Structures are given as structure tokens and as C-alpha cells.
Structure 1
């Protein structure tokens, strides 16, 4: 067996390994992570090429953890057995991954461990991405921005850094800044899918639906290499922009059938990600009273979910609105379900369901308050104005007429 030597990964970090092929596979994994590629399993090849490489084993542990926890434990054990010979960089990554995968994980500790790692190794965008994903799940875009800003000066020419900055900015409502950095990332690398995605978020939030659709459809030919989440989620954005911009419903269902649900036919599809995007789109038909167009599509998707939200959606489908109110409780806010891994835009449809439930169960005042708050954030969505018109009419308010006029004007403003 060849003696281990110190080699360098794509950013110059020292890696102890006997194999050039191991380092090549690690670099390939980096690319797959940053480009949301379908071949992330390449990291397992790195560990196979050198079973004693601490970095390869630590990264492999993180990759397999969500679906194969026992395998993750084995990879971490392999990494731990060789820590004494590891470089300082490898030890830092091992510690960060171990904290993240710990059974008694403390999120604050995990973030701090990654912050310290990035102070010493600021070009490690994989560790930055790993920390940002955790920030997303715990709903802390402020921490995510802090981590990016900490390393930004060391990565000025890295395309991926700007999409990683843009996304938490838009989560905090800083849309102008988010658009600026998403465009910068896109200008450096037209195939930076996270920058594309962030820019679409901004355009959709600003109700620039036609612009969003034209931009994303122009980019769509490059999405074939994306993993299920990124591929179906980008198409989900396109479909929702068509729907919110009052395009013909046939166009929306065409995207659903051809680009979202069809993803399940691929051997390497991540079914859970497809279901999440499928559900988020079909629910928008439901809340708009357009379920006749969708056939059995929604019933098929909801059947795979088993949680409180799914129970509420099943009752909603039966028009049992009082049961939905009882299940979700009077203080429901979809943002509280951030841990399912959905963006604010994906969660938004659950709030739309909630508005309708409030109206149909006699909680008109609460509905008006919630809808008006959302309209102030996204005043270009015709469906919200229709809901407001209905709520005002139920209360006998004269401004129902204004809401109706506004909704009708917006329906022809985007896709004529």
C-alpha cells in the first residue's frame, strides 16, 4: 500500500491520502454540491479509493446520513480512527460534520463550529453550504448571511458565493440586494443554478411574473443535470408564476406533468422532493377552486404525506373546514413548518388554505387582517385581491368593489 501524502483539494486545502483519485472524487463532489448535481454519490468513490482518508469519510458520512444513518456512523468511525494523521483542515471538517450528525445536536454549537472552521479556511464553500442548509431549516437567514459575509472577501471571483448570499437576503426581505447579488453570480457563471433560483424568487416576489418565466425558461435547458430538488423546484417556480399571473391553467398543468411529476420516472429521482413541489403546486389549484382541472393528481400526492398538515389538507379536500380549523388551531402560521424543508414561497400556499378556512368558518375579521398583511407584501397577486374582495363583501364593506377591480386588472397584466 502506498504511503499517505499531503495533497490539495480544489481550494488548496491539505488532504492526507494515498490516492490522487480520492482527491479528484472529493473535488467532483464539491462541484456536485455547489451545482445541485445528480451525482453527489461520487463522494463514496472517494472513500472507496482511500478508506483511510479522513476528509473522504467525513464527507461520505454527511452524504449518506439522511437515508442510511448506520452507514454514516461507519464512515465517521473510519474517519475517527485516522484523525491522528489528519491535517488541521480535515480535523476541522470532521468536527463540524460530527457535531451536525450528533444524536443530541445543539444547533448553536453546530453553527459556531462551522463559523470557526470558516475563519481558518474561508474558501471552503462546502462547509459554508452545509451550515447554510442548517440555518435554512431552523429559520435563521440572519446567521446564514453572517457566515457568507465572513468569507466573501476571500471568494470574490467564485460564482457560487453570490447565490449563497442572495438567498438569505431575499429570505430577510432585502429584495434589491438579493437581486443584485443573484445577477452577479449569474453573470460570472450562467449555470449557477442557485443564483438563477434566487433571481427567480425576487422576480416572483415582486410580481414580475412574465419576466420571471422568460428568464427561467431561457435557463431551463441547463437543468438536466440538476438533482430532483433543484430540477422540479425551478419548474415549480415557473408554474407558480404562470398561475399567479393568471395564465391559462393548461399551461400550468403541462409543466406539472412534463417537468415535475415526470421526474419520478428517472431511476435516480428523489421522490420526497418531487412530492413536495407537486403538492405545493396542486394546492394552489385547490385554494383557487380549480380542482376540476387537476383530476386525481392532488389525491395521489397527499396520500404519500403523513403529518398534521397532510391531515388538514385531506379534510380541506372534503370541505370540512371546521375540522381543518380544529387541527391547525387559531394561531396557525405556515412559517412554523419551515422544518419540512420548504421555502417561504412553498409554504405560502398553506397560508392561502388558512385564509379560506378562516372565511368559511366565520373568522372573517382574522381573515381580513391576515390577507391585508400579505397583500402589502405582494400587492400584484390577483388571487389575494379576490380573497380580499370576498372577505370585505362578507363584512359588507364598500372597499370590496375596489378589491374586485384591482383583481380583474391584475388578471390581464402579465400573460395576455
Structure 2
């Protein structure tokens, strides 16, 4: 029996389709660049495979790119037409709610799916993403801990769930268990970058920068054929180089490893670049024209996907001094803050005012910007991301005070 059909009831009974989809999940868990192209081959051979349409839809939504709205709609329509059991129909409802940016409803449905089928890996990954980008570390860890006991010890994908648990532990400040789980997961599967990421976070949060840099260097050779998430691990290395007193090396690393990937126009690469450049600038380094390298991604300043991402596009605009883009971004955030969905609420609570503070920091009103950031600090976790990513806002307060 195909692995996927052991974990969650699939309406498809075609053994070739299910076995091939196991390969898609293998690639996905190992951050392969070929995951979606492999899936396309399966869908071409079996267009009635509902789980394939659902998986593609979730991947498109988690990319947080409005340019994927039409392909997402196509995946949803296909999934709705082919969903053949209650679990798949529940996934359709979850994805539909997410398409409308009703992430609270999506999370609730995913929770119901996981209560019925704790090893539904697709639901677990989607829930993990949502918890991360609403800053709810305890929900992130809780979902994984509820799932993990249901995975057999010898299951080929179990170590990836342990890796997810490692990051949940880290974000909850449970560092010893995070380190143990993360290292164990990577020892089992060196391509588990999420587990490696958790270990890097532990070293960074503990201030053990030498160990963190060494850990990433040891892992990097395994990641030569992986997707853009490897760039985020290199970003972590750059942050630890800065904290280790080697900011110049961090700038060199930016030039060598974090510039070329920008052409993919993937939000996380731009977030990495913007936050790293501002950190380096606060260390007194001359950045030359490096901020200008991010100008081509101004078109993302009016996205309404995740507040966390939007704030990084604001950083790019303010550091380039492009007032038209700044004004457009702030107007977009003002509209977004009036919307009832969760990200609209977050924008209203902290996003819009944080963006205004970034403008103040860059345009000579640093005292006002710092005051605003200090007022917002207790609630800033709502924007999501990790402690390490949000630490930038604390750095702003310290630097500009």
C-alpha cells in the first residue's frame, strides 16, 4: 500500500497514482525544486486525483503571492469536482476559506481534520504554516505534539515530524528539547532543512554563534539541490556572523549567496535581504547600491498576503527613498486594516503603525519611530515569523534610541 494511503484515507484507489504521489511528498519534505513538476506529471495521467489538486492548492497559497490566485482557483475547482470522501471535502472547505483569507476558519477546519486523522501530513503542514505566520508558537507545537504519537517509530516520514516538533520547541523557548529533536531529525535525514533550521535558531537564541555558524556550514553541502529555503539558512548564518563581530563577512556572504536568488521574486528571499541589509547598515557598513538591488520587487508593496511580508517590502521602499511607493504601500495597509479577516485585524492592531514607524526611522523622525515601536512591542508577535526575525524591531529600538 502507498504510504500516503496509510496516513490518510484517499478517495483514489489507483496504486500507480498513490505510489507516485508518495514520491511527491518525499520531494516536498526534502525541499526539492522538482516537487510541483513531479505533481504535474501525476495530474496529467490522473486528473481525477483530488489529493493532488489539494496539495497543489495549498502550495500555491503558502507561496503568499497574489499572482498565483488564478492557478489556485483552478486547483480548488478541480479538487471540489474530484473530492471523493469527507476528509478531502473538508480540505476543500479549508482551502476555500484560505483563498478568502479567512485563516481562522481554515485553522479550525484543519484542526478538525487532524483530530480525525492525526497523521494527515498535508493538514499538519498547512496548520503549521498558519500558526507560524500568526505568531502562535504554542499552537504550532501543540498540533505537532498531538500528531507525533500516532506516527509509527519506523515510519519513513516520522523524522520530519520530529523536525517540525524541534522548531515548535524552539519558538516556545524549550531549547534543550529543540536541539535534541532537531539534531536527531537531521541525523536521520540531512535534507530536513526545517529541523536544521530549528537547531540554527537554538544556537542563535542562546548566543552560541560559533556553534550555529559551524552547524550551518556542516549542513550546507547536503542542500545543493534544494529550493530557496536554503537561502534562509544562509541568512541565519549571516545574522550570527554579525553577532559574532564579523559583519564584513556577513556582507560578503550576502553578495555571494543572497543576491542572485532575488531574481526568483520569492517573498522570503526579499525579506532575508531587506532585514539583513538594514542590520548591516546599523553596524556602520557602507552598503553602496545594494538597496537598489531590491527595487525590482516594489510591485509586491501592495500585496495583501501576510503583514510580516508587507513590512519588509516597506523597508525596501523607505531605504530607497521612493516616496510614491511608500505612499502606495501605506495606503494599501490602511485599506487592509479595515478588512475583517485575521491579517486585516493584525494590520489594524500593529501592521500599519509599524510601517509608519519604519518610515519615521528612515526619514529623520527616529525618535517618533522608536516611541511607536516601543508602544507596539508587546503586540508585535502577532505579525508572525520567528523570534529571530522579529528581533530586528528590537534592534531598531536600541539603535535609534
Give TM class, smaller chain.
Answer: 0.7 to 0.9
Q: 2:102 aligns with which of 91, 102, 105?
A: 105
**CA apart distance, 1:152:** 1.2
CA contact (8 A) 2:374 2:397 kept: no
More divergent stretch after superposition (252-261 vs 44-53): 44-53
Determine the C-alpha separation between the residues in 1 that align with 2:222 and 2:379: 31
Determine the C-alpha separation between the residues in 2 that align with 1:346 and 1:356: 16
**CA apart distance, 1:221:** 0.8
CA contact (8 A) 2:370 2:396 kept: no
* 1:68-217 equivalence runs, <5 A: 68-83=68-83, 86-101=84-99, 103=100, 105-107=102-104, 109-155=105-151, 156-157=153-154, 158-217=158-217
**CA apart distance, 1:337:** 7.0
**CA apart distance, 1:176:** 1.9
* Residue aligning to 2:30: 35
3-state DSSP class of the match of 1:15? coil
CA contact (8 A) 1:312 1:328 kept: no
CA contact (8 A) 1:18 1:50 kept: no
Question: 1:318/1:127 Cα in 2 relative to 1: closer, same or farther (>3 Å)?
Answer: closer
Structure number with higher helix proportion? 2
Determine the C-alpha separation between the residues in 2 that align with 1:35 and 1:335: 34
* 1:39-78 equivalence runs, <5 A: 39-41=34-36, 42-65=38-61, 66=65, 67-78=67-78
* Residue aligning to 2:274: 279
Determine the C-alpha separation between the residues in 2 that align with 1:90 and 1:192: 27
Question: 1:106/1:208 Cα in 2 relative to 1: closer, same or farther (>3 Å)?
Answer: closer
Determine the C-alpha separation between the residues in 1 that align with 2:362 and 2:297: 17
Query: C-alpha deviations, 1:287-345, integer Å up to 9, x for none?
Result: 1222x2x2111343367353664255555785613486289566233962754x64221
CA contact (8 A) 1:22 1:56 kept: no
* Residues 1:255 and 2:253 are matched in the alignment: yes
CA contact (8 A) 2:231 2:257 kept: yes
Question: 1:104/1:257 Cα in 2 relative to 1: closer, same or farther (>3 Å)?
Answer: closer
Query: C-alpha deviations, 1:327-384, integer Å up to 9, x for none?
Result: 9566233962754x64221221232123223x2xxxxxxxxxxxxxxxxxxxxxxxxx
3-state DSSP class of the match of 1:176? helix
3-state DSSP class of the match of 2:34? coil
Determine the C-alpha separation between the residues in 2 that align with 1:251 and 1:28: 39
3-state DSSP class of the match of 2:138? helix
TM-score by length of 1: 0.73
TM superposition outliers: structure 1 runs of 4+ over 4 Å? 18-21, 311-319, 326-330
Determine the C-alpha separation between the residues in 2 that align with 1:200 and 1:79: 37
CA contact (8 A) 1:34 1:126 kept: no
* Residues 1:356 and 2:399 are matched in the alignment: yes
* Gap regions ≥5 residues in structure 2: 302-309, 322-358
**CA apart distance, 1:201:** 0.3
**CA apart distance, 1:237:** 0.8
CA contact (8 A) 1:179 1:202 kept: yes
* Residue aligning to 2:377: 333
Determine the C-alpha separation between the residues in 2 that align with 1:304 and 1:243: 26
* Residues 1:321 and 2:354 are matched in the alignment: no
Determine the C-alpha separation between the residues in 2 that align with 1:324 and 1:220: 42
Query: C-alpha deviations, 1:183-225, integer Å up to 9, x for none?
Result: 2212322322111110010011111111111111011011122
Determine the C-alpha separation between the residues in 2 that align with 1:7 and 1:90: 17
Greater RCO, CA 8 A, separation 6+: 2
Q: Which has the larger radius of gyration?
A: 1
Number of residue pairs aligned between Structure 1 and Structure 2:
341
More divergent stretch after superposition (298-307 vs 23-32): 298-307
More divergent stretch after superposition (199-208 vs 272-281): 272-281
Determine the C-alpha separation between the residues in 1 that align with 2:198 and 2:55: 26
Determine the C-alpha separation between the residues in 2 that align with 1:52 and 1:10: 16
* Gap regions ≥5 residues in structure 1: 1-5, 360-416
TM-score by length of 2: 0.75
Determine the C-alpha separation between the residues in 2 that align with 1:112 and 1:284: 37
**CA apart distance, 1:73:** 1.9
CA contact (8 A) 2:114 2:147 kept: yes
